[in-house]
Copies of this chain bind each other. A is one copy, B any other.
């Protein structure tokens, strides 16, 4: 992609409304733009990261056996009356009346709708276990939306819903999502700690939040230092197998959010292992049994021929919020530092002298070779001065920069820079291309 033809409205000044660094950097890097309180447009650079995050979430859901569908944003109020949550949900629910005065709402979550789909299509335990998920925009009418996409009103969420014939099987479903979440956040380049959590308006009695530790976190969390270095489940994880061992490894060390904190248990840890920090919630999983299936009559016949309410759980990842969390966890004074897995482009190529035959040819050749190797490249072919080009590349945080200048061109050399470390190296053109292809693979 040529920067001269791209839409990247960089802000030179810090926007006043941004209270935290991720919000400030997303605005400055031209990733998002607020349309009205808590509602954002995703500009091309931001959308690329959002899609990359969603892709990793999707791949890990599919790997764990969940099936993707897509429910609409607008729901009928009647469905929420069946579960009893229509009145409970309060002012956070965006309530709507259509032209025929039918009551609708913009879905804040989808337990009711998925239960409705299930009860109309599944009858027998033979069709279970089943896990259905979607990645769709939700709306929660926060009193005071702030922190950019971290606490927006319209936000993108992955929500999965599991259906099982009994509590034991439902626990396996919970464990599969637990492990899928560990893998998802690892692939996103984050260290997320599962913590016992309050179930809130979703309900149920078993629940974990997945929390990233960050200074700007919204809540106080407590955990055992050992959790920060635990092994994560690998690519060879067998989701058909019993995963309770993995879950046990991750849930035995102490970890809890403030609401669930047990000060005595925490104090019993050796002091060096007591981690008390701020945390950002990026995922939340629930087992709530028959809370929705009972009132909504979602029933299946078991092996014994007897009908019973299906056991359910739900599993959320805040996809759009994750972009804020990623930046809170990975930035420096100069800007964002994207993990390779979600970077909007793998490489930012800077031509220091566009219009110069030698640098133009070398740059175009490198772009072609990197792209044919499957890498994405943002090529700064503009006539801005060098300092501004470097500042932009640092701000938008692409993992690698490749600099082509007239002096190096004469010697057949270019420079590469790793954004995360600032390390620079001068290499021949072939060596530079091979290095980037190799490192990004």
Binding site for B on A (CB under 8 A): 5-7, 9, 30, 33, 35-37, 39-44, 46-47, 50, 65, 67-76, 79, 91-92, 94, 96, 98-99, 102, 104, 106, 113, 116-117, 120-122, 130, 132, 137, 139, 141, 143, 153-154
CA of A47 to CA of B76, assembled, Å: 21
From known contacts A69-B41, A94-B96, A96-B94, infer whether A106 and B7 are also in contact, taking CB-CB under 8 Å: no
CA of A146 to CA of B31, assembled, Å: 38
Contact of A70 with B47 in the complex, beta carbons under 8 Å: yes
Contact of A74 with B7 in the complex, beta carbons under 8 Å: no
* Residues of chain B within 8 A of A50, CB atoms compared: 70
Contact of A99 with B141 in the complex, beta carbons under 8 Å: yes
From residue A329, how far is it (CB to closest CB) to chain B in Å? 23
Would you call the interface of chain A mostly helix, strand, loop, or mixed?
Answer: mixed
CA of A189 to CA of B92, assembled, Å: 45
Contact of A47 with B69 in the complex, beta carbons under 8 Å: yes
Contact of B5 with A65 in the complex, beta carbons under 8 Å: yes
From known contacts A35-B75, A36-B75, A73-B137, infer whether A68 and B47 are also in contact, taking CB-CB under 8 Å: yes
From residue A20, how far is it (CB to closest CB) to chain B in Å? 21
* 11 sample A-B contacts, Cβ–Cβ < 8 Å, listed by A number: A7-B67, A9-B121, A35-B72, A35-B113, A40-B72, A41-B72, A41-B113, A41-B117, A42-B69, A94-B96, A99-B143
CA of A47 to CA of B96, assembled, Å: 26
Contact of B130 with A74 in the complex, beta carbons under 8 Å: no
